[in-house]
Chain A
Amino acid sequence: MSDIVLKTENLTKHYGGVHALQEANFELRKGEHVAIMGDNGAGKSTFVRQITGVEQRTSGKIWFDGKEVNFTGPIEAREAGIETVFQNLALADDLDVPSNLFLGREKVLFNLGPFSILDRKAMRKATEAALVRTAVKIPNLSSTIRHMSGGQRQCVAIARTATFASKLIIMDEPTAALGVQETAQVENIIRTLKANGEPLILVSHNMRQVFDLCDRIVVFRRGKIVANLRKQDTDGNDIVAYITGAKTGQAELQAA
């Protein structure tokens, strides 16, 4: 069982009387790309928020990297090795690319507490290397995020995630607001991550994208995991049936 990166057992989250997530059992293995699908309000984002420590779960257990974990905040989760690309990007518009990549974990030349001198050359070099590794195309590292297109911003956010994630990357609808070309660029980055063997959880509404990029598809409906299928065992219609509730599929769940 040493190749399991993330495992949840009976993960449950109630918002007052709303059962947003009920007894979710989930596993992710090394190098695996898993898609999470489901309608709006099905519990996808709730699930992600429990794993990344943005919210505190009502009950259930989470194992990450072989240990049971209780993250009290997203920063703790990040320090443990879970990097998340949030829907709202979490970039500082007025900073350039290296500054954003290293925001909150700057490389330092001389340590003087808050007035530590930044090692700008090293950060720039590391940024260039990271962009090459993730195949992100950015014309000018020194221009601020404000001057970039939505796709470039998303690429910076993903490059930042990929640079520091030692163990797990989570993307919450990374291409939701992007055009065709920009989506293709982001998808290429995800393929690069796959080739590098980095595990990934992708929350997406895009069926083609999910079948293109992921090994396994987990469907949420009304706060429950209703399907857990390998890509080759299913097709688009099947998934849609699970998402809409036409198929309830406890049998398939056990088979998979």
Chain B
Amino acid sequence: MSQTSHGIGGLSYDARKRPWPAEFNVFLALVILVGAFELIGRVFLGDSFLFNTRENVSGLFNEQRLQIIILQVSIVGIIAIGVTQVIICGGIDLSSGSIVGATAMIAMSFAQVATVNGNPNPKAMFINFGWTDLPVIVPLLVAIGCGLIAGLINGFLIAYTRIPPFIATLGMMVTARGIAKWWSKGQPISFPTESFAAIGKGLMPVVIFISLAILFQLILTYTKYGKHCYAIGSNEDAARMSGIKIANHKVLVYAIAGILAAIAAVVLSSKNLTAQAGMGVMYELDAIAMAVIGGVSLSGGRGSIIGTVIGSLIFGVIISGFTFLRLDAYYQEMVKGVIIVGAVVLDQWRQRRRAIGA
């Protein structure tokens, strides 16, 4: 009876033969990757990738390395959360990196101090208006507003003009980058207030990334919004026939993606204590790659935030592992490209096998 307890109508069902969740495979890949770096490190360098080998530092693991791994992926990871729900919903968002750039510039100009070392801040954009030393809520709201507007434009274009998401967000990608450069005529914007700088200090990016990841994992699993994301990505016609308001939902999805990109911009510019027009270049592709590596299907309907988080860790481990092996940064990018394509090939292969096996 325990074996057939899930069956309805007398058909037997063996819960133990259930397919593994896709996230498990991704996690396995992460473990194997870490193991490979550990092995290569031990054999060729006589050093450990994962464990602490220095005598002057206590602790079992190489905590410094682990911190770097997660810290360097957490900002793109925040974007990847938004991109994940866009892809699950059957879309794509190429604009997030540029939204980071534009939002960082605009938000930072509302977060500047009046005086640097007793002199008036040379970089302050709005010093003539007296808009300096503003409370931290102002740049935060400005940032979220920027992300929201960009996301809404994406969403409205996709939902109502019915142009492909690829084109709509490509347009936003170019436009937002233009805005980032135009805002200060290419000059970097620096010297934020202490309260703004606190947002991205130390391990704060990790805390923000993990909190948002948990929040959106819950939203995608337990709310109507999440269910409709999967439904639309899975079969848009069926979703429409079921009475789901597709257009509204898509606008919401892209708006949320825009807001998450804006949050990433705040964290990034706060961490770097400066905003530059070139910030976030290629972040959109890194974010998409994290999602795809994490098992989010580019054809929509499948994937999870947990998968994307593990995907982002794989990303971090690769970058950090290459540094550990003292390989040039050039190789990192080459391998990154191979891994992105590999993940998509794997996804296609999985789908085909599923279609045949089912």
A interface residues with partner B (beta carbon < 8 Å): 74-75, 78, 86, 88-95, 99, 103-106, 108, 112, 114-118, 120, 128, 131-132, 135-143, 146-149
In the complex, A141→B8 CA distance in Å?
A: 8
Among the listed A118, A139, A143, A146, which residue makes an inter-chain contact with B222, where contact means beta carbons less than 8 Å apart? A118
What is the 8 Å Cβ interface bit string for chain B, positions 1-16, against chain A (1 contact, 0 not)? 0000011111111010
Whether B302 contacts A94 by the Cβ 8 Å rule is yes
Does chain A have a CB within 8 A of B138? no
Whether A115 contacts B233 by the Cβ 8 Å rule is no
Among the listed A105, A115, A135, A138, which residue makes an inter-chain contact with B223, where contact means beta carbons less than 8 Å apart? A115
Give the secondary structure class of A's interface: loop
Query: Which A residue's beta carbon lies closest to that of B248?
Result: A114
Whether A94 contacts B227 by the Cβ 8 Å rule is no
Residues of chain A within 8 A (CB-CB) of B354 are 146-147
Chain B contacts with A in 144-184, Cβ cutoff 8 A: none
Whether A142 contacts B6 by the Cβ 8 Å rule is yes
A-B contact count (CB 8 A): 109
Segment at the interface with A among B113-121, B238-246, B260-268:
B238-246
Having A114-B228, A136-B9, one finds 12 other A-B pairs with CB under 8 Å, namely A90-B241, A93-B234, A103-B242, A103-B244, A106-B224, A106-B227, A115-B224, A118-B222, A138-B9, A139-B12, A143-B18, A146-B354
Query: Nearest-CB distance from B187 to chain A (Å)?
Result: 40
Among the listed A89, A116, A135, A143, which residue makes an inter-chain contact with B9, where contact means beta carbons less than 8 Å apart? A135
Query: Which B residue's beta carbon lies closest to that of A54?
Result: B241
Residues of chain B within 8 A (CB-CB) of A99 are 227, 230-231
Residues of chain A within 8 A (CB-CB) of B222 are 117-118, 120
B interface residues with partner A (beta carbon < 8 Å): 6-13, 15, 18-19, 219, 222-225, 227-228, 230-231, 233-235, 237-239, 241-244, 249, 252, 301-302, 354, 358
In the complex, A90→B11 CA distance in Å?
A: 25
Residues of chain A within 8 A (CB-CB) of B235 are 90-93
Among the listed B7, B10, B231, B301, which residue makes an inter-chain contact with A103, where contact means beta carbons less than 8 Å apart? B231
Query: Nearest-CB distance from B299 to chain A (Å)?
Result: 10
Whether B238 contacts A147 by the Cβ 8 Å rule is no
Query: Nearest-CB distance from A134 to chain B (Å)?
Result: 9
Residues of chain A within 8 A (CB-CB) of B238 are 89-92, 103
Residues of chain A within 8 A (CB-CB) of B302 are 94
Among the listed A91, A92, A105, A115, which residue makes an inter-chain contact with B230, where contact means beta carbons less than 8 Å apart? A92
Among the listed A91, A94, A120, A140, which residue makes an inter-chain contact with B233, where contact means beta carbons less than 8 Å apart? A94
In the complex, A116→B222 CA distance in Å?
A: 8
Among the listed B8, B19, B233, which residue makes an inter-chain contact with A138, where contact means beta carbons less than 8 Å apart? B8
Residues of chain B within 8 A (CB-CB) of A142 are 6
Query: Which A residue's beta carbon lies closest to that of B218?
Result: A117
Given A114-B252, A118-B222: A139 touches B301 (CB 8 Å cut-off): no
What 7 A-B pairs have minimum CB-CB distances, sorted nearest first? A104-B242, A137-B9, A94-B301, A104-B243, A92-B234, A94-B234, A139-B13
Query: Which A residue's beta carbon lies closest to that of B238?
Result: A90
Among the listed B8, B9, B11, B230, which residue makes an inter-chain contact with A94, where contact means beta carbons less than 8 Å apart? B230
Query: Nearest-CB distance from B90 to chain A (Å)?
Result: 11
In the complex, A139→B3 CA distance in Å?
A: 11
